[in-house]
A and B are shown apart, each in its own frame.
Chain A
Amino acid sequence: MTEYDYDELGLVAGLEIHQQLDTATKLFCSCPTELREPEESVRSFERYLHPTKSELGEIDEAALEESQVERVFEYLAYDSTCLVEEDDEPPARVDAEALSVVLEIAQLMDMTPVDVAHVMRKLVVDGSNTSGFQRSMEIATDGEIETSEGAVRVADLMLEEESAQRVEEREDGVTYSLDRLGIPLVEIGTKPDISSPEQAREAAERIGMLLRSTGHVKRGLGTIRQDVNISIAEGARVEVKGVQSLDDIDDIVRNEVGRQVALLDVKDRLGERDATVGEPVDVTETFADTDSGVVRGALDSGGEVWAVRLEGFDGIVGEEIQPDRRLGTELSDHAKRHGAGGIFHTDELPAYGVTEEEVVALREAVDAGEGDAVAMVAADVDVAEAAVEAAADRATVALEGVPEETRGANDDGTTRYLRPLPGAARMYPETDVPPVHLDPSDVDEPELLTAKVGRYQDEYGLDAGVAEQVAYGAYMPLFESLVDDDGVDATLAATTLESTLTALRRDDVPTDELTDAHLRDAIALVDAGDVPNEGLEDLLTALARNPGWSAEQAVEEEDLGGVAEDEVREAVVEVVERNGDQVDEQGMGAFSALMGECMGALRGKADGDLVSEVLREEIQARA
């Protein structure tokens, strides 16, 4: 990857981070913040949304694009959701636990809470909120976090409700799942103080660490979403949505800078060539006898082929502007937004079954000369023309440089076009929820994860690696509760929650099924000596495979309870007698071989130390 002089390019970036909170109940009702499988749904219903002009005021371009078609939204409800999620009951007051967590976060980022938080409705008409709006409130402003390249100011901290999960998209609508709707979500927005890819990643890591220090944030895929705003001096503001992994943030920034640099270069060269974009032309006739699969398919189902002359674009449409993504890909992204499968362009043709002769005829049909390129779309009637027009519009923008837009993060660190930048959100007060007077004085400052790592070593005697694993791991709150509240041995708790579970996961044990209660009870049983250390893996495996069981039940069902000393002795005596000759010959030298046999005879149910002690005694007794 090319490295740029980011200072010289004038890179400016900011982060917007959304993190789900792990609270007992949702933000505006008493339902659990628990995710479900669509198959577990017990009820479903269908709704329409009717955004009216008077609500939208100056209609937002992005909202308009979403609302143009009357779409029916299906919602899946569960035994863990209620009428509030269904928009059939007014919201309850703001959840107190969520407020207290968010005030902790404000404190960690050195922010000033507002005196009175007002719940707002942010218009969302894609169906992801049953109400047609997302409830959100500004909690605190003006903070900052440290990075090695300087402070990054934190502009805003918002507490809002998570949207419903999209389950399925159909032609006439979308199915959403209500389990996620209403889970408390914090949104943290930084000022555009970030000036390098590394700093972007570091700032995101720092914010993530601060959030996790509260011990009240959700963990796992989809529970944190990172958006990055990126621009360079001559470029434009681009909002990259949905960066799933922290590790991708620096690559996303690098690639977007690269894209903007490439687009500016394209602009300069197009300018030198006096490039322009023509009008869309129906070229269906040109392909009447084509053997190209894609084009043939479209024509056979009654579709059309439309094309547009890109004057002076020859060779440029096929140029890479991100790894493996060309200017043509950008045109194609826009065509896809209008329902087409994509575009073909002359920089890549002949290919895909389109012949040399057809390319010549295509050029002729749109009057394209040397130095010109042609983009074409084969699709249904109406779609083909609109799609090629969208591609042409994007080509026109290339003459001016970098467009402001919202892009989606791809897994490989590149981005794709999503939609125009949203306008300022249209917000109005949520009159169903009274404003909340915030009282930051009774909020404790949580211990940072960085501090925990040190304390775990000093207080609990964990080694540095394990201490860090536990502190940054998903089980940190459970670990602390086990050790501090239940008095469980810290090393036992730490190794079980980190290494044992990791090992089981590698053996394909479904450890995701293990609840905190499973883990807590299993570890406590071992700590109390009711189950030998050696039985813990079996116990956890049994629970993971039978999540309906309690730990006690699993011990019973799988016969994992510890074995008393007389039973151990009985088994050991049997082994020693069976191997009497060996013992007589080797004395204590037979110990290792017999130890394994004893453990096997006891099927791991007995404590190893006890077995070894008894075996030693029995060998000596025989000597």
Chain B
Amino acid sequence: MNPGDRVRVDRADQTYEGVLLPSSDAEQLVVKLDGGYNVGVTREDADVDVLESGVYDIEGDEPDEGESSTIEFDEDLPTISLISTGGTIASTVDYRTGAVTAQFDAEDVLRAVPDLAGRANYRGRVVANILSENMDPGIWQELAHAVHEEIENGADGVVVMHGTDTMQYSASALAFMLDTPVPVVFTGSQRSADRPSSDNVMNAVCAVEAAKSDCAEVLLCMHASESDDDCALHRGTRVRKNHTSRRDAFETVGAAPLGVVDYDAAADEDPDAVTFRREHQARDGVDLDIEPALASDVELVKFTPGMDPAFLEYCEGKDGLVVEGTGLGHVHTDLIPTLASHVDDGTTVVMTSQCLEGRVCDRVYDTGRDLLDAGVVEGEDILPGTAKVKLMWVLANRDDPAAAMGADLAGEIQERSVPWE
């Protein structure tokens, strides 16, 4: 008896006939009835007869290889590289776990999103096939190399398809590692691609349009609202996933998003579909370069009332430590000596704020002044997650990490705090 067999299952006075499916749980058999419904039958009470073996190909939805790669090159269109790292945008159902997992490469995405056709010539590439919570700095480096190589080989823009959980970290990493003369646009989806309501189609279309635009920065392109009307273009270093499930989960912190893609206009291939609100790095403004080195021994620690001091003590000997403090950038006064001793040991300690909005200022209260005396670096208005990525990069690439943390390297620091709506 194997998944895919046509079976009859007798249990007490009840008979179910259908196709046996893989079950995620050893206690039950899962049978797909002829009407299409799956039902679970407790295994120990069940009597199974195989009526016919292998009538149903469980992995059966794989399209024919033949029909896929007949994509024609059009000289009038820009070339966009689609780089897949996995995630919801490229996911389908995994029968084994019953959960959603990544199984598509970039060409599958083209097949899954036919709306992308005719907008660009595409080059597909798979760097990873993971859910983004499993992302790590090693893959950021591979991804940076892949993007670098694609641009070197003539890509006019790069779209990175990425799980949404840690997209902001990867985008920040690439923003620090790369000098790019073309747009590098991260996108993903909050609703899996296996449902008709998935946001993957609109996000992918808008990301490709953004990748064709004049903004040579690392951007993140996701829904601007719960409607399928606009995608927001966020700077990779200023963006944060602020909702667990909504389509418009991503928000630029401390400013309106850098740009907007109008989906209706993009669908009609209107050249004005992509607009920007503020100054940005222009296409071909810099030469392509990559500095991929990272210090891996860096932690981000959030201070909360009642925190066990041992958590901070544990960070002894780290290359870098980002603290997510309270308010203007504080921790409990009793913890300051520990931080002072880490600094003396050679650890770069950077203060950020769990307020997220606003700038760290450790000159207002005694606690702050004590932290400055202890050698803690003010992290300006850098987002805590971005600060961690930046510190990893700065420690490996800059001689004076403390000074570099206070300077704007990739749009992560806003020099002026300007009220916005």
Shortest distance from the beta carbon of B46 to any chain A beta carbon, whole Å = 9
Give the complex CA separation of A115 and B10 in angstroms: 12
8 Å CB interface, B236-260 against A: 244-247
Partner pick for B227 among A47, A90, A116, A141, CB 8 A cutoff: A47
Complex contacts, B196 vs chain A, CB 8 Å: 49-52, 55, 123, 125, 131-133
From known contacts A46-B227, A138-B33, infer whether A118 and B40 are also in contact, taking CB-CB under 8 Å: yes
Chain B residues contacting A57 (CB-CB under 8 Å) are 61
B33 to chain A, nearest CB (A): 7
B404 CB–A CB distance under 8 Å: no
Question: Which of the candidate stretches A29-37, A196-204, A216-224, A427-435 sits at the interface with the other chain?
Answer: A427-435
The residues in A between 105 and 144 inclusive whose CB is less than 8 angstroms from any CB of B are: 112, 114-118, 120-123, 125, 130-133, 136-138, 141-142
Known: A47-B228, A52-B114. A116 touches B194 (CB 8 A): no
B318 on the A face (CB < 8 A): no
Q: Beyond A131-B197, A142-B14, is A431–B40 a contact (Cβ under 8 Å)?
A: no
User: Which residue of chain A has its CB nearest to the CB of B36?
Assistant: A427
With beta carbons under 8 angstroms apart, the residue of A49, A54, A83, A136 that contacts B61 is A54
B204 to chain A, nearest CB (A): 11
Contacts of B93 in A (CB 8 A): 428-429, 431
A138 to B18, CA, bound (A): 14
Q: Which residues of B contact A115 (CB under 8 A)?
A: 11, 28, 39-42, 45
Q: A50-B198, A115-B11, A428-B93 are in contact. Are A83 and B246 (CB under 8 A)?
A: yes
Question: Are A88 and B195 neighbours in the complex by a CB distance under 8 Å?
Answer: no
Closest B residue to A125 by CB, please name it.
Answer: B196
Q: Is the CB of B245 within 8 A of A90?
A: yes
Interface membership of B403, Cβ < 8 A: no
Q: How far apart are the CA atoms of A497 and B198 in the complex, in Å?
A: 48
User: Complex formed: what's the CA distance from A426 to B93 in Å?
Assistant: 15
Contact B36 A116 (CB under 8 A): no
Q: Give the complex CA separation of A426 and B37 in angstroms.
A: 10
Assess the B245–A46 pair: CB atoms within 8 A: no
- Supposing A55-B194, A115-B28, A116-B42 touch, asked if A136 and B37 sit within 8 A by C-beta, the answer is yes
Contacts of A330 in B (CB 8 A): none
Task: List B contacts of A451 (CB < 8 A).
Answer: none
CB of B196 to closest CB in A, whole Å: 3
Give Cα A156 to B35, complex, Å: 10
Cα distance A136–B37 in the bound complex, in angstroms:
8
Chain B residue with Cβ nearest A44: B227
Contact of A87 with B by CB under 8 A? yes
Q: Which residue of A lies closest to B12 (CB)?
A: A112
Chain B CB within 8 A of A425 CB: yes
A48, B228: Cβ atoms closer than 8 Å: yes
B residues 1-29 touching A (CB-CB < 8 Å): 11-14, 16, 25, 28
**Interchain nearest-CB distance for B190 vs A (Å):** 8
Residues of A within 8 A of B52 (CB): none
- Tell me the bound Cα distance from A105 to B31 in angstroms: 23
Chain B contact residue count (CB 8 A cutoff): 48
Q: Does the CB pair A116–B39 fall under 8 Å? A: yes
B346 interface residue, CB < 8 Å from A? no
Instruction: List, in ascending order, chain A residues with CB within 8 A of B98's CB.
Output: 429, 431, 434
Contact with B along A54-94 (1 / 0, CB 8 A): 11010000000000000010000000000100111110000
Task: Assess whether A621 is interfacial by the CB under 8 Å rule.
Answer: no
Instruction: Please measure, in the bound complex, the distance between the C-alpha atom of A20 and the C-alpha atom of B303, giving whole angstroms.
Output: 50
Name the residue on A nearest B98 (C-beta): A431
Chain A residues closer than 8 Å to B283, beta-carbon distance: none
CA distance A426 to B61 in the complex (A): 13
The reply on A424 being an interface residue by CB < 8 A is yes
Across the interface, A46 reaches (CB within 8 A) one of B197, B229, B244, B246, namely B229
**1/0 contact string of A348-383 vs chain B (CB within 8 Å):** 000000000000000000000000000000000000
Residues of B within 8 A of A45 (CB): 225-227
A364 to chain B, nearest CB (A): 46
Instruction: For residue A493, give the distance in angstroms from its CB to the closest CB of chain B.
Output: 42
* Cross-interface CB contact of A47 among B12, B100, B197, cutoff 8 Å: B197
Q: Which of B38, B202, B245 contacts A88 (CB 8 A)?
A: B245
B99 within 8 A of A: yes
> In this complex, what residue of A is CB-closest to B60?
A57
- A57's nearest neighbour on chain B, judged by CB, is B61
* Assembly CA distance A476 to B11 (angstroms): 38
Complex CA distance for A90 and B246, rounded to whole angstroms: 10
The chain A residue with its CB closest to the CB of B198 is: A50
* Residues of chain B with a CB closer than 8 A to A425's CB: 35-36
The answer to whether A138 touches B37, judged by C-beta atoms less than 8 angstroms apart, is yes
In the complex, the answer to whether A112 meets B114 with C-beta atoms within 8 Å is no
- Within the complex, what minimum Cβ distance (angstroms) separates A360 from chain B? 49
Q: With the chains together, A141 CA to B34 CA distance in Å?
A: 13
Which A residues touch B16, using CB under 8 A? 114, 141
Contact B201 A50, beta carbon cutoff 8 Å: yes
Whether A120 lies near B197 (C-beta < 8 A) is no
Assess A121 versus B195: contact at CB under 8 Å? Given A52-B112, A156-B35, A425-B35.
yes
In whole angstroms, what is the CA distance A126 to B63 when docked?
25
B145 contacts the other chain (Cβ, under 8 Å)? no
Of B38, B115, B191, B226, which one neighbours A118 at CB under 8 angstroms? B38
B25 → A minimal CB distance (Å): 8
Residue from B28, B190, B197, B226 within 8 A of A116 (CB atoms): B28
Instruction: Give the residues in chain B near A137, CB-CB below 8 Å.
Output: 37
B227–A132 contact, CB under 8 A?
no
User: Does chain A have a CB within 8 A of B125?
Assistant: no
Q: Across the interface, do A114 and B39 meet the contact criterion of CB distance under 8 Å?
A: yes
B contact residues around A158 at 8 Å (CB):
37
A55 to B45, CA, bound (A): 34
Question: Is the pair B112, A114 in contact by a Cβ cutoff of 8 Å?
Answer: no
B13 lies within 8 A of A112 (CB): yes
* Residues of chain A lying within 8 A (CB to CB) of residue B115: 50
Report the minimal beta-carbon distance from B64 to chain A, rounded to whole angstroms. 11
B30 at the interface (CB under 8 A from A): yes
Tell me, in angstroms, the Cα distance from A447 to B186 when the chains sit together.
60
The chain A residue sitting closest to B11, CB to CB, is A115
Chain B residues near A112 (CB-CB < 8 A): 12-14
Q: How far is the CB of A525 from chain B (nearest CB, A)?
A: 46
Q: Cα distance A133–B192 when bound, in Å? A: 13
- In the complex, which residue of chain A has the Cβ closest to the Cβ of B27? A116
Contact A424 B228 (CB under 8 A): no
User: Inside 8 A of A114's CB, which chain B residues have their CB?
Assistant: 16, 39-41
In the assembly, what is the distance between CA of A132 and CA of B229, in Å? 18
From A427, which residue of chain B is reached at the shortest CB distance?
A: B36
* Given A47-B227, A133-B195, A431 contacting B35 (CB threshold 8 A): no
- Name the residue on B nearest A46 (C-beta): B227
Cα A112 to Cα B14 with chains together (Å): 7
List, in ascending order, chain B residues with CB within 8 A of A117's CB: 39-40
Q: With the chains together, A313 CA to B114 CA distance in Å?
A: 46
Q: Of residues 364 to 407 in A, which have CB atoms within 8 Å of B's CB atoms?
A: none
Minimum Cβ distance to chain B for residue A294 (Å): 35
B302 interfacial by beta-carbon distance below 8 Å: no
A428 to B198, CA, bound (A): 15
Q: Are B35 and A131 in contact (CB under 8 A)?
A: no
Q: Which residues on the B side are within 8 Å of A435 (C-beta)?
A: 25, 28, 40
List A contacts of B190 (CB < 8 A). Answer: 88
Select A87's contact among B30, B36, B113, B197, beta carbons within 8 Å: B197
Indicate if the CB atoms of A89 and B42 lie closer than 8 Å.
no
Would A431 and B100 count as touching, CB distance under 8 A? yes
CB distance B246 to A88 under 8 Å? yes
> Within the complex, what minimum Cβ distance (angstroms) separates B112 from chain A?
6
B99-114 contact mask (Cβ, 8 Å, vs A): 1 or 0: 1100000000001111
- Return the 3 tightest CB-CB contacts between A and B, nearest first: A116-B40, A132-B196, A427-B36
- List 12 A–B pairs whose Cβ atoms lie within 8 Å, in order of A's numbering: A46-B227, A55-B194, A114-B40, A115-B45, A121-B195, A131-B196, A132-B195, A132-B196, A142-B14, A431-B98, A431-B100, A435-B28
- Additional A-B contacts beyond A90-B245, A114-B40 (15; CB < 8 A): A45-B227, A46-B227, A46-B229, A50-B201, A83-B246, A112-B12, A115-B11, A117-B40, A132-B197, A133-B196, A136-B37, A138-B33, A138-B35, A138-B38, A431-B93
